[in-house]
Amino acid sequence: MNMEFQLKAELKCSGSLSETVSSSEIADFVKLCNTEVLKKGAPPGCGAEIERWNVAGEKIGLKIVSDRFVRAHDALLRVKNEFGKFLGKHSIGIRGMEIEDYAIAMEWEEGLRLKKLPFVKEIKQEEGWLKLSLDVDEFSLEKRIPDRIIRLLEDKREAEKWKGKKEHWELLFESNKKPFYFDKDPTEEMIKRGWIRHAAGRGQWIHGPQSTRIFRTLERILLDNLLEPFGYEEMIFPKFVPWSVWKKSGHAKGIYPEAYYVCTPKTRDPEYWEEVVDYYKVTNEVPLDMIMGRIENVGGMCYAQCPPFWIFMQGKTIPDEILPIKVFDRSGTSYRYESGGLHGIERLDEFHRVEIVWIGNKEQVIEHAKQLQAKYRRVFDEFLDIEWREAWVTPWFMVQEGKAGLAELKEVGTIDYEAVLPYSGKWLEFQNVSVNGDKYPKEFSVKLQSGEELWSGCSGVGLERWATVLLAQKGLDPDKWNAKFRSVVGELPEVFRFL
């Protein structure tokens, strides 16, 4: 991909150059930079060049042009260091630099339009080129902001290629056909029977004794037939997730449209909040605008259940003999803002999940994923008696992270379990088993004593999804449920009656 860079900047010196350094000396120095310093690391005939320079008192004006091999901002930093050495012989130092103008042009697809980018004050798209005018300073260059902007554009280009095909899907297994005893939306029937009721929040339900008993039965089946036989131990993972965790887990790259945000007061000082309190007392209305100015965002509610767990392991070295590690969490709810996609108890904002995490070397993690798959098949067949299928999924983000090859080898990726909903004929994903490779151990700096690569996997059991699949195929009458499931669930409690 062709790129062109043009950068205008001034180096600020500690003394007047015209009184101590001759123009010919500076010209010779610039020539040296153009022929050696700014070509280093680039193919022959490529690199950067100081196209124009001038001296005015204590400032050196520079115009640098370059290709993608030695980008102009890198060239400027090199020149700054070399000028510092050169001028140091004359007892003059470099105090800083000021960026007057920085323009980047790169080949670009006509159909991929951009409106706004961080640190970019102007965007033009014309004749197959994208032209950016950057708003950056010395600190921005040192933080590699221009490189990150280019990486962002490459990500957008790659995302456009995958738009409409979020993930690769490959059928692996189909269960036997099973009888269906129901053809209605189970959520609507649960509402009619008084098992559930909409809560005050969006995408949120209050579960009565009957559906709660079903949830606890599903948990009991999971514990008795999968978690305990495999030697899993229960933990409690936090349900508030700070930004520092989401940055390491990778969710900070795109969680924003789906997160439930958490904010804390800037101070507990009652005087700071007195105006808000007084407004409510006078109007009996909560002054949201006034509140927003007095709080600060610190993270969000649990989105993917396992990232907060990794703080427990962060920075630790573990002995090989304790592998594999197997833990699970069922201590609270998860939250995702399902804009436009809310439906029943299976697609909602607040949901209940058992999160299963296992850690080991590569072979252990892959082997245990296979063992889990076999156990799930038994549970779905013998206890729920449902019709389902399994599919191998390569999420598009794995392609962006360079893991497509591992996914094609079925080493890193996800197996989704889907069940048909008779009332709609659609398939609902209700379970998964994911092998995440070294993603989490690497990001959270968890190491093995032997130095061998550490891998992990996770599997989320959504209780609402399991219940939806069961009730959609078998109905709400217990006499239609599998005998093994009935033996665990017992009699459904009847507690409430309303007149």
Per-residue model confidence as pLDDT tens digits over 220-258:
999 999 999 999 999 999 999 999 999 999 899 889 999
Same domain, 158 and 185: no
Residue 429 bears catalytic tag = yes
Residue 348 lies in a domain: yes
Catalytic residue list contains 110: no
| pLDDT single digits (tens) 352-406 | 999 999 999 999 999 999 999 999 999 999 999 999 999 998 754 555 454 555 5
Of 71, 330, 336, 353, which one is the catalytic site residue?
336
pLDDT value of position 162: 63
Instruction: Tell me whether residue 418 is one of the annotated catalytic residues.
Output: no
Of the residues 167, 385, 458, 464, only one is catalytic, namely 458
pLDDT of residue 296: 97
The answer to whether residue 472 sits within a structural domain is yes
463 shares its domain with 376: yes
Whether 320 maps to a domain, the answer reads yes
So what's the pLDDT on residue 413? Answer: 87
Domain tally, the chain = 2
Q: Which of 125, 140, 162 is the last residue of a domain?
A: 162
Which of 347, 377, 389, 486 is catalytic? The answer is 347
The domain that contains 69 carries what CATH number? 3.30.70.1920
Task: Give the DSSP letter of residue 297.
Answer: E
CATH code where residue 431 lies: 3.30.930.10
The answer to whether 97 and 11 have CB atoms below 8 angstroms apart is: yes
109 part of a folded domain: yes
Asked which of 162, 178, 198 is the last residue of a domain, the reply is 162
One domain for residues 42 and 133: yes
Specify whether 398 is located in the same domain as 480. Answer: yes
How far apart are alpha carbons 431 and 422 in whole angstroms? Answer: 18
Residue 171 lies in a domain: yes
Tell me the pTM.
0.84
479 shares a domain with 395: yes
In contact, 130 and 153? CB cutoff 8 Å? yes
Longest dimension (CA), the chain: 99
Q: What is the pLDDT of residue 169?
A: 80
d(CA 59, CA 460): 61
Q: Are 151 and 178 in a shared domain?
A: no
101 catalytic residue (yes or no)? no
Give, as one character, the DSSP assignment of residue 18.
T
Indicate which residue of 49, 346, 387, 416 is catalytic.
Answer: 416
Indicate whether 158 and 228 sit together in one domain. Answer: no
Considering the domain architecture, whether residues 102 and 236 belong to the same structural domain is answered as: no
Active site residue 336: yes
All residues at 6 or more sequence positions from 197 whose CB lies less than 8 Å from its CB, including other chains:
191, 205, 206, 208
Residue 410, token pair as written in the block? 């079925």
pLDDT for residue 477? 96
With a cut of 70, list the residues of the chain below it in pLDDT. 162-167, 340, 395-410
Among candidate residues 306, 330, 346, 418, the one labeled active-site is: 306
- CA dist 370 and 448 (Å) reads 23
pLDDT of residue 444: 97
Q: Pinpoint the alpha helices (H) of 61-208.
A: 72-88, 138-142, 145-162, 186-192
> Domain boundary at 142, 162, 182, which?
162
Domain residues for 75?
3-162
Instruction: Kindly state the helix (H) or strand (E) to which residue 8 belongs, with its residue range.
Output: strand 3-13
Q: Please say if 382 is a catalytic residue.
A: no
What values do phi and psi take at 115, rounded to 5? -105, -40
Residue 39: predicted pLDDT:
95
The answer on 187 and 125 residing in a single domain is no
